[in-house]
Amino acid sequence: MTIELDPRIPEADTCVLPRILARYAELYPARIFATFEDGEAWSYSRTRDESSQTACALLRLNVQVGDRVLIWLPNGKTALRSWFGVNHIGAVSVPINTAYKGGLLQHVIDNSDAHVMLCHGDLIERLLELKSHGSLQTIVTSSEKIIELNSAFGSLGISLVPFEALDAQTENFSLPDLQPWDFQSICYTSGTTGISKGVMSSYLHLFTMGWNCTKGLTADDRYLINLPLFHVGGTLFVTGALARGASIAVISQFSTGTFFEVCRRLGATRCLLLGAMAGFLMRATPHDQDRNHPLKQVMVIPLSEDARVMSKRFGFDVVTLFNMSEIAAPIVSDINPTAPGSCGRLREGVEARLVDRNDCEVLVNNIGELVLRSDCPWTMSHGYFKMPDATASAWRNGWFHTGDLFRRDQAGNYFFMDRAKDAIRRRGENISSFEVEVELLAHPDVLEAAAVGVASDHGEEDVLVVVVPKLLASIDPAELIGYLAGRMAHFMVPRFVRVVAALPKTPTSKIEKHVLRAEGVTPDTWDRESVGLRISSVRLE
C-alpha cells in the first residue's frame, strides 16, 4: 500500500537543514554560503564538508541520532560547523547563551541530558563552579585548557577533547534519512514564568520560521548574522538564507560605530536589528556616509522608530514582525509600515485569537492574550523538553498561549501591549524575573525580593530590584550588585536597587508587581550607573 504524505508538508530536501545543504552543495558547489569577520569565506561545498567532518568527529565521541549536544560557543566558524555537524548525524543541537553561569547554566546542562559539550576555552572554568554536571561525559574545548584543567575534570569523570579532533578526516559519511518532523534543536527560553524551558523544534518548525522571516531573499542576497547563534534571532536567518540559496555574514556582535563599515566589508544586503540597535543608529549624528552601504532591507524588532524616517535617512526598507522561539513568525508587516506601533498582520497558514483569562475571545480593539495555531503539522514547537506540565499549560484548549497581550484593530493590525508573564526585556535579552529573584534571595541579608522592568533611556527596559532586608540586617546596593555579578549573566544584573521595609502584597500574600512597576524609579532608588558601576560582557575571541 502506498502512503501519501500530507501535501502541506514540504519535501525533506527543501526543509531539513542537512539535506538542503547537501542539495545546494551539489547544484552550486562554488557559491558562497558563509563569510566571516576575518575575511574567510565558505562555499556551499566547503560548508557541507566542514559539517560532515564535524559529524564524523561527533560519531567517534559516541554521539548518536537523537542525542542532545550542548554548544557553548560565540558566533564564528566553530559555532556554525558545530551546529550543522550535530544535525548532520541526526543529533539535537542545544546552544547555550555564553553569558550563562551558576544556577541557570546548571539547569540547562541537567535538563538537556547531554553527554557531549562543545565549549569555548574561556567559558570552561565556569563549569567547575557547578555542583553537578548532569550527564556530561565529554567536553570538546581548546588544547590550552585541556593541559590546564584535565586533572580537575578527570576527577569528575569528564574527558576533555581538543577542538582539533573536529578536523579529522571524514570517513565514509552519509546523511541519515532525516524527515521534516524529526527533532532538530532545543532553545532554552528566559524562564519568564519560572525556570527556563527547553523549546523543542523540528526541522520543519525552524525552516518555517526562517522562510517566513526572509521573504524576497534571493541567491544574490547576504544576511548579516549579528545576533548570537544561541538565540533564535540568529539561527532563524541562517536557516532562511540556506533554504533560499542565499548567503550569510557571521559577526561576533553589533557595534553602532562600525555597523555600516561591517556591512560594506562583508557585502550584507539584509539584517535584523533589535529595537535598541535601531535606536542607537537613529540617535547617532547624521553623516554623509549614512547611505554608503549595500543594505536593501532591515528587520527591526520591536519597531519603535518611525519606519519611513529610518528608510529615508538610511536608504533601506524597514520591516517588522512578532515571533517567539515556540512559533514561526505569525505576524509580519508590510515594507515600511505606516501603522505606528503595529507588528503587522497575520500571515497565511496561521490562526490567531486574542482571549481573556478564560480563553474567551475579546472584541476588536480590546486587549487579550495572543493564542495561535498552525494549519500545517510540525511548523510550531512540539513542546518543552522534559516538562509535560508546562507543555500542556502552554497548549491548553488546542492553542499555543504566547503569554503576550495584544490589541487588534479593524484593519487586522496587531499591536503588542504588554507581557502577561513576568519577563523583562533588556537590549534584546529576555530576562526572567524569577531567576533574578532566586539569586537575590540567595544573598544572606535579603529576606524578600522582586524584580521588575522599568523604561530604559535606550528603549526596552532596565532591571529594577526591590529588596527587603532580614531582621537586624542592612543591604548595601553596591555590595549586592557585586554579589549578583558573580552569579548571573551580565545582562541580568540589575541597574536599579531599592531597599524597602515591606513589599506590596495581595490578600493572598502575592507580591503586587504592578505596584512596583507603577512606582518605578523612586527618589530613594539607587542607580549603579549614576556611580559609574557598569557591568559588561566579556568578548570572546
Architecture of the domain spanning 425-531: 2-Layer Sandwich (3.30)
335: its cell numbers: 515594507
Mean pLDDT on 135-160: 95
Contact call for residues 180 and 12 (beta carbons, < 8 A): yes
Q: Calculate mean pLDDT across residues 399-410.
A: 93
Q: Are strands 297-301 and 317-319 parallel, antiparallel or unpaired?
A: parallel
CB 17 within 8 A of CB 201: no
The residue among 76, 19, 74 whose CA lies nearest residue 48 is 19
H helix intervals, 114-214: 143-154, 203-213
Alpha-carbon distances of 313 from 261, 335, 357, rounded to whole Å: 17, 15, 43
Task: For CATH 3.30.300.30, list the domain ranges present in the chain.
Answer: 425-531
How far is the C-alpha of 300 from the C-alpha of 279, rounded, in Å? 10
CB 153 within 8 A of CB 126: no
Residue 523 clears pLDDT 50, i.e. is over it: yes
Cell of 54: 564535524
If pLDDT is split at 50, 70 and 90, which confidence band does 193 have?
Answer: low
Instruction: Check pLDDT > 90 for residue 430.
Output: no
The three cell numbers of residue 64 are 548518536
Mean pLDDT within 510-537:
87
Predicted confidence at residue 1, as pLDDT, reads 46
Asked if the bond preceding 302 is cis, omega within 30° of 0, the reply is yes
Pick the CATH number of 204-233+244-419 from 3.40.50.150, 3.40.50.10070, 3.40.50.12780, 1.10.3720.10: 3.40.50.12780
Q: Is the pLDDT reported for residue 428 higher than 50?
A: yes
Share of the chain above pLDDT 90, in %: 75
Which candidate, 473, 469, 526, 516, places its Cα nearest to that of 495?
A: 526
Distance CA 93, CA 89 (A): 11
CA distances from 202 to 167, 378, 391, 408, 451 (A): 28, 7, 15, 30, 34
**In the predicted model, is pLDDT for residue 436 greater than 80?**
yes
CB 266 within 8 A of CB 222: yes
**Cα-based distances in Å from 512 to 308, 358, 432, 466, 522:** 39, 21, 17, 12, 16
Sign (positive/negative) of CA torsion 111, 113, 119, 123?
Answer: positive
SS (H, E, C) 441-484: HCCCCEEEEEEEEEECCCCCEEEEEEEEECCCCCCCHHHHHHHH
Measure CA 388 to chain center: 22
Per-residue pLDDT reduced to its tens digit, 38-74: 999 999 999 999 999 999 999 999 999 999 999 999 9
Binned at pLDDT 50, 70 and 90, residue 244 comes out as: very high
The stretch 500-509 carries a mean pLDDT of 79
| Model pLDDT, residue 506 | 64
pLDDT at 305 (0 to 100): 82
User: How many other CB atoms are there within 10 angstroms of residue 411's CB atom?
Assistant: 9
Rounded-to-integer distance, Cα 284 and Cα 297, Å: 19
pLDDT top residue among 426 and 31: 31
- Binned at pLDDT 50, 70 and 90, residue 275 comes out as confident
Given a contact cutoff of 8 angstroms between Cβ atoms, the answer to whether 487 and 442 are in contact is yes
CATH topology assigned to domain 12-203: Rossmann fold (3.40.50)
Name the 3-class secondary structure at 419: strand
Per-residue pLDDT tens digits for 200-227 = 999 999 999 999 999 999 999 999 999 9
If you count them, how many residues does the chain have? 541
Residue 402 has pLDDT above 50, yes or no: yes
Task: State pLDDT tens for residues 280-334.
Answer: 899 899 988 899 999 999 999 988 888 999 999 999 999 999 999 999 999 999 9
pLDDT exceeds cutoff 70 at 539: no
pLDDT value at residue 510: 74
Who has greater pLDDT, 340 or 62?
62
Predicted confidence at residue 538, as pLDDT, reads 62
Closest CA to 66 of 44, 46, 93: 93
Give the whole-number percent of the chain exceeding pLDDT 70. Answer: 96
In single-letter form, the type of residue at position 191 comes to G
Q: What is the dihedral of CA 290, 294, 296, 302, to 10 degrees?
A: -60
DSSP 56-87: HHHHHTT--TT-EEEEE--SSHHHHHHHHHHH
Contacts of 227 (CB under 8 A, 6+ apart): 233, 234, 254, 272, 274, 428
Count the alpha carbons within 13 Å of 392 in the hemisphere toward its beta carbon: 4
**Cell numbers at 437, concatenated:** 529573584
Does position 512 have pLDDT exceeding 90, yes or no?
no
Q: Where in the chain is the domain with CATH 3.40.50.12780?
A: 12-203, 204-233+244-419
Distance CA 63, CA 355 (A): 44
